[in-house]
Amino acid sequence: MPGEPQTFFPPDGYLPAVTDLYELTMAAGYFENAIDYSATFELWVRNLPPQRSYLIACGLEDCVRYLSDLSFSKDTVEYLRAQEVFKHVSDAFFDYLRRMKFTGDMWAIPEGTVVFAGEPLIRITAPIIEAQLVETFLLSVINYQTTVATKASRVVDAAHMGGVERPVVDFGLRRAHGPGAGISAARASFIGGCAGTSNVYAGYRHGIPVYGTAAHSWTMAFDSELESFEKYYKTFPESTILLIDTYDVKQGAINAAKIGDGLRGVRLDSGDLVAQSKMVRRILDDAGLKNAQIVASGDLNEYKIRDMLRAGALLDIFGVGTGMVVSCDAPALQCIYKLVEEQKGGRTVYKAKFSEDKAMYPGAKQVRRISNGHGEFQRDVICRHDEKMKGEALLTKILEDGKPVGGLPDIKEIQSHAKEQLARLPERYKRFDGADVYPVSYSPALEALLEEVKKQYR
């Protein structure tokens, strides 16, 4: 809002303005026409990108905090009142906005859960104005954090080739689409399996371990590379990892080895990392530094990491930035948020969209996951929310009457849940290339409801 300090994210009273204008024009239209019945909306991903075979649900915590604290500041309301589009809207609507809180219910699939296209990740039931107004924020958060968490899980999977758990660290803050995105990406990538982040604020805000070395400018600031290494080690004797490719990798490794037993490791950031890692490993080992680790960074992704390890690269840790926080090969999801039913005069009115390539199923839904006797996921069934079916119900109630039903898990619990979920997803559904399509179907009762609604509209 005008006059407010510029921050990564607006304070709570301004958050409702982080939306598309049409959410507010629809809200005003509902209010002016006395449309105040309860409505149910659902959020899901329409189709998986060609490069993805599963998703890791992420972003729920930010959505819960947003809904729990939703309120319009006085300045926000006055700004809206001054917009030309609202000149025929009554003062009563703006008075309503000043008093408005989220009073509805929220059901959601927990963060860290493996999910697939078509499955509702969030279900909102609330007075229609409230349910409508939150659309843009929920879509923005779930779309981005799910994208990054999924990408991170693939990068971590590649780094763990052969059952060796080589850590992956988020290096993406400087490549993210703004500081706010970098904070969200650090959280999502940790949930996806990363060991930590270079992002100091994300470490403070979310309790994520922070990692860092030094840049080429540190080395270049001294008269010699060896001097820069010695001065860095003097300052950080327990945590020295040296960047050795500023000038010549071989000489850099020799200079780093002169630090002695206190050296934690070295970092390679460019060039042929396979050949370099083998050469550097020999130099370190010959100097008696078998425990010194080799960190790789520089435009990495799951495919590059996989290919380097297949080629015999002797790398211990990966710092991944752009490829993870931007998710270059699949930078966005087809997240949608649609009205599926209304409560009018004590009866339920089901809603659906039949437009080509964008058809949807009506009614509030549940997702049932069926596993085999070994705990592996076999298939999912999307069904009516109150339908009695076998399988684990994935959506749980998170908010009731606008208030949290229980506490949210901490980020390490969410990461552990994601790891357990991926372990239960058979390998054929996780391949980077040519993965099988995980079976997701609709229950007969839901199919019947769709046909019934189609007949009504015909």
State percent of the chain over pLDDT 90. Answer: 93
Contact between residue 295 and residue 263 where contact means Cβ atoms under 8 Å apart: no
pLDDT tens digits for range 426-435: 999 999 999 9
Q: Which residues belong to CATH 3.20.140.10 in the chain?
A: 12-148+334-457
Task: Examine the pLDDT at 4 and tell me if it is beyond 80.
Answer: no
At residue 67, the 3 state secondary structure works out as: helix
Residue type, 115: V
pLDDT of residue 12: 66
Cβ atoms of residues 398 and 107 within 8 Å: yes
**CATH 3.20.20.70 applies to domain 151-325:** yes
Average pLDDT, the chain: 95
Which residue blocks in 335-437 are alpha helix, DSSP H?
A: 411-424
Position 165 scores a pLDDT of: 95
Q: What is the pLDDT of residue 148?
A: 98
Name which of 49, 19, 110, 111 is nearest 334 in CA terms: 49
Sign of CA dihedral 195, 148, 42, 44: negative
Taking a C-beta distance cutoff of 8 angstroms, is the pair 167, 195 a contact? yes
pLDDT for the residue 397:
98
Q: Tokens 């947003």: give the residue.
A: 66
How close are the terminal C-alpha atoms of the chain, in Å?
46
Query: 430 φ, ψ to 5°?
Result: -115, 0
Dihedral pair phi/psi, residue 25, rounded to 5°: -70, -40
Q: In sequence order, what are the beta bridge partners of 369?
A: 380, 392
> What does the block give as tokens for 122?
């969030």
- Where along the chain do the CATH 3.20.20.70 domains lie? 151-325
Among candidate residues 125, 136, 130, the one with its CA nearest the CA of residue 31: 130
Which residue, 13, 19, 41, is CA-closest to 97? 13
Query: Which residues, 6+ apart, have CB-to-CB distance to 359 below 8 Å?
Result: 352, 353
Q: How far apart are CA 370 and CA 380, in angstroms?
A: 6
Give pLDDT, residue 189.
Answer: 98
Q: 94-130, pLDDT tens digit by residue?
A: 999 999 999 999 999 999 999 999 999 999 999 999 9
Which pLDDT belongs to residue 9?
Answer: 62
User: What's the CATH class of domain 12-148+334-457?
Assistant: alpha beta
CB–CB of 187/204 below 8 Å?
no
Residues with Cβ within 8 Å of 117's Cβ and at least 6 positions away in sequence, in order, are 44, 45, 46, 47, 48, 440
Percentage helix, strand, coil, to 5, in the chain? 40, 20, 40
- Name the β-bridge partners of 337: 43
- CA angle at residue 104 from 99 to 108, to 5 degrees? 135
Is there a contact between 399 and 122 (Cβ–Cβ < 8 Å)? no
Cite the beta strand spans of 46-197 per DSSP E.
55-56, 105-108, 114-115, 122-127, 168-170, 196-197
The Cα 240–Cα 395 span in angstroms is 46
**Res 6: pLDDT:** 40
| Contact yes or no for 98/81 (Cβ under 8 A) | no
Give per-residue pLDDT as tens, 258-300. Answer: 999 999 999 999 999 999 999 999 999 999 999 999 999 999 9
CB neighbour class for 431 (10 Å; exposed up to 12, middle 13-18, buried from 19): exposed
Per the structure block, which two tokens stand in for 5?
């300090």
Beta-bridge partners for 169: 196, 319
Is the pLDDT at 58 greater than 60, yes or no?
A: yes
Say what the pLDDT of residue 358 is. 78
Helices (H), 160-266: 179-191, 200-206, 216-220, 225-235, 249-257
pLDDT at 8: 59
Q: In what order do the strands lie in the sheet with 347-350?
A: 347-350, 335-344, 38-45, 122-127, 105-108, 396-400, 403-404
Q: Report the b/e string of 437-448 with b at 16+ CB within 10 A.
A: ebebebbeebee
Query: 457: pLDDT confidence band, cut at 50, 70 and 90?
Result: confident
Distance CA 44, CA 55 (A): 11
